[in-house]
């Protein structure tokens, strides 16, 4: 059997995906609008107890059309697994499109129209799910949560809230000179604190003793993206723990226009 994500057949989600913001609200100078909006990952059937707010989609997400399926997604799937949450979650991003350029993400944190559409998702998800905890990945997502809190629906939310470092914080910190091992240790200490705060607050799908992270991320700390989270028929290697999509190009414009997809060497049935 191959479970799959049926998508956005029914309202309120059908209405949200039918009427998404375009380049008038997400300028093409600051967002990779050419790859289309990518809306969510996880349950839309009213069973989500954890609502995750990510940042913006990247290359893998542009192909699978679901968010948080690359490195960040696999790391955070492992975090949820430690809480016993295997299926009862739903995720949206702060931004519907991939941010283009380092400062673009920060430049649009106060955009009312971006927030209004995102609030449509948050309101729908909160209204239709028994959400026990909201978890924001990174500063932009934290800002998105607090912006929503200023609305009537956001103010009425009474569940738990945790803001954690973004799953790829170590990678971005290392690229700006921080020692990679220290950056990873910082992420994992931050996540351990959030795990401790959330443990017992969220009803698990599978009760398991909390196993905190050490100072390095081990393969056992990652979890595979469930098949049921992706559109029907996507091959299993798209959920594997290896990278398979990357932006390529000799010029910025070519790189923006090109995502190379390559099946990981150990996942090829023809070799
Ligand atoms: N991919 C996403 O969809 N969101 C993130 O925050 C990071 C990667």
Q: What is the tens place of the pLDDT at every residue in 59-115?
A: 999 999 999 999 999 999 999 999 999 999 999 999 999 999 879 999 999 999 999
Mutate to test the pocket of ligand 1, among 39, 55, 70 (most ligand atoms within 8 A of CB): 55
Residue 6 in domain:
no
Structure tokens at 71: 């490195």
Q: 102 and 60: one domain?
A: yes
Average pLDDT value for the chain? 97
Q: 72 and 186: one domain?
A: yes
Q: 153 and 100: one domain?
A: yes
Tally of structural domains, the chain = 2
Residue 242 in domain:
yes
Q: From the CB of 141, is ligand 1 less than 6 Å away?
A: no
Average pLDDT over residues 9-36: 97
Q: What is the tens place of the pLDDT at every residue in 209-222?
A: 999 999 999 999 99
Whole-number Å distance between alpha carbons of 110 and 230? 31
Whole-number Å distance between alpha carbons of 89 and 86? 8
Q: 114 and 35: one domain?
A: yes
Domain with 181, as residue range(s), is 23-203
Q: 151 and 249: one domain?
A: no
Residue 5 in domain:
no
Q: From the CB of 78, is ligand 1 less than 6 Å away?
A: no
Task: Report pLDDT for 135.
Answer: 98
Structure tokens at 168: 């790829």
Q: Which atom of ligand 1 is nearest to the CA of 38?
A: 3
Q: 187 and 95: one domain?
A: yes
Q: How far is the CA of 130 from the centre of ligand 1 (A)?
A: 24
Q: Which atom of ligand 1 is nearest to the CA of 138?
A: 6
List the CATH number of the domain containing 91. 3.40.470.10
Q: Which atom of ligand 1 is nearest to the CA of 168?
A: 7
Average pLDDT over residues 119-128: 98
Q: 64 and 183: one domain?
A: yes
Average pLDDT over residues 118-131: 98
Task: Report pLDDT for 101.
Answer: 85
- CA-wise closest residue to 89 among 138, 123, 40, 16: 40
Residue 199 in domain:
yes
């Amino acid at each position: 059997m191959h479970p799959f994500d049926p998508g956005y057949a029914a309202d309120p989600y059908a209405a949200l995906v039918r009427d998404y913001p375009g380049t008038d609200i997400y300028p093409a100078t600051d967002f990779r609008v050419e790859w289309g909006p990518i809306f969510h990952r996880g349950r839309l059937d009213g069973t989500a107890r954890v609502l995750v707010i990510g940042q913006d989609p990247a290359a893998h997400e542009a192909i699978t059309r679901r968010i948080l399926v690359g490195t960040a997604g696999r790391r955070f799937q492992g975090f949820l697994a430690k809480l016993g949450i295997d299926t009862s979650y739903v995720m949206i991003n702060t931004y519907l499109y991939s941010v283009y350029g380092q400062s673009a993400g920060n430049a649009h944190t106060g955009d009312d129209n971006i927030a209004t559409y995102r609030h449509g998702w948050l309101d729908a998800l909160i209204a239709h799910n028994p959400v026990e905890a909201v978890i924001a990945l990174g500063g932009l997502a934290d800002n998105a949560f607090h912006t929503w809190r200023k609305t009537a629906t956001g103010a009425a939310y009474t569940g738990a809230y945790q803001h954690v470092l973004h799953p790829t914080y170590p990678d971005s910190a290392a690229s700006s000179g921080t020692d990679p091992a220290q950056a990873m240790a910082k992420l994992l200490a931050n996540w351990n604190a959030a795990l401790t705060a959330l443990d017992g607050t969220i009803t698990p799908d599978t009760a398991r003793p909390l196993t905190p992270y050490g100072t390095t991320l081990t393969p056992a700390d990652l979890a595979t993206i469930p098949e049921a989270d992706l559109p029907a028929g996507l091959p299993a290697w798209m959920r594997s723990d290896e990278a398979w999509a990357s932006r390529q190009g000799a010029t910025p414009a070519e790189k923006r226009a090109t995502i190379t997809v390559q099946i990981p060497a150990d996942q090829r049935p023809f070799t």
